[in-house]
Amino acid sequence: MSKMTMTQKILAAHAGLSEVRPGQLIEADLDLVLGNDITSPVAIKEMEKFNKEGVFNKDKIALVPDHFVPNKDIKSAENCKCVREFARRNSITNYFEVGKMGIEHALLPESGLTLPGDLIIGADSHTCTYGALGAFSTGIGSTDMAAGMATGKGWFKVPSAIKFNIVGKPSKWVSGKDVILHIIGMIGVDGALYKSMEFVGEGIKNLSMDDRFTIANMAIEAGGKNGIFPVDEIAVNYLNEHANGKSYTVYEADPDAEYDEEYTIDLGQLKPTVSFPHLPENTHTFDEIDDIKIDQVVIGSCTNGRIDDLRCAAEVLSGKHVAEEIRCIVIPATQKIYMQAMKEGLLETFINAGAIVSTPTCGPCLGGYMGVLASGERCVSTTNRNFVGRMGAIDSEIYLASPAVAAASAVTGKVSQPSEIGL
């Protein structure tokens, strides 16, 4: 019996090996190489040093300008021009220009480019999102991206694993964001360092695909190499809708697979959770939170800009109004999500409530644009990082939360949960 985890099986298959062991160094074939407008130009310049013409497979590279798009300034315009010209030169199939673009980690699953059993690398640390669909996906540096685009191969150290047994059913305002913030608060930002976070258990059926994307997305905030979910009926339904009939391989952990640690997470016990500055592990529930006045709310990002997230925020904001002096910015993660939100009347709800709605962009999450914080300002954000200076001024503060908590906070002008506004 091989005793391999789901992640280890995917890596073994892509390395052409019958089995792999934690710590083993392997060279594996890549199914997809991803880059954005910040990381791709660095990789493209590295590729030029290889003296190699062309890319390994024009269909297996995805280039998504999303961080400073639409272009914020001359430098971001030059970066996007570099990516655009490279994509044209190499006839890259999956290049997403403005009008088609979205936030990369929402756009690629929606476009059917991330499938169960795939091995995916991306020059963006939140590439681990695709584990929600049973893929092995992980973030890498721009040099590895360059090598991947040139050769279609990557080097990996096989990770050991932590098993998270998910049980129970979450209460009304508890979502995937609360689950992953709870886990990071419990194990710490290095609790899963270079390990695979494997989510299993009967409670998974009570998590939507959007919840799972959120949880896998933030595996990196616990130091994880990747996060991965089994491919169940909910995942298959998602793939039937988005994968355009492509075939895929489902891997399952061996019954006696070895894990470094095992945790049980009872969804029914979880409460709305907020991550205080300046680390995602600094988590608190509302029984520990006093009045914390805020200046801005951001609802969006690769973590929480999907349709479930917007529906939840709209439900909280419906018939309410953003507090005086609060800026509330809502960013649908893709054009398709934007359209869906428009059809459902969610955008109208946001605007009537006094929020603004932006075109898809990563902008504020990394302190890029569309919501940069001034000195001393505080923001409740549905993004994934709250490091010092992450969203702007070095003495600004970021409180990470779910869309429900972010929307409620916009109404009260302080860090709040929906029950505080009668929901």
- Asked if residue 119 lies in contact with residue 6, where contact means CB atoms within 8 angstroms, the answer is no
- Asked if residue 373 lies in contact with residue 295, where contact means CB atoms within 8 angstroms, the answer is yes
Which residue's entry shows tokens 């049973």? Answer: 134
**Res 51: pLDDT:** 81
Dihedral (Cα; 281, 287, 288, 289), 10-degree rounding = 100
DSSP state of 100: T
Residues of the chain with pLDDT under 70: 1
Distance, in Å, from the CA atom of 398 to the CA atom of 204, rounded to the nearest integer, reads: 29
**What is the architecture, at CATH level 2, of domain 272-421?**
2-Layer Sandwich (3.30)
Q: Across the beta sheet with 283-285, what order do the strands follow?
A: 283-285, 273-275, 397-400, 378-381, 296-299, 327-330, 356-357
**Res 1: pLDDT:** 53
Distance, in Å, from the CA atom of 30 to the CA atom of 187, rounded to the nearest integer, reads: 31
CA nearest neighbour of 194 among 24, 78, 316: 24
Three-state DSSP class for residue 19: coil
Dihedral (Cα; 287, 288, 294, 298), 10-degree rounding = -70
- Asked if residue 61 lies in contact with residue 32, where contact means CB atoms within 8 angstroms, the answer is yes
Strands 378-381 and 25-29: unpaired
User: Which CATH superfamily, name and number, covers 6-265?
Assistant: Aconitase, domain 3 (3.30.499.10)
Region(s) of the chain under CATH 3.30.499.10: 6-265, 272-421
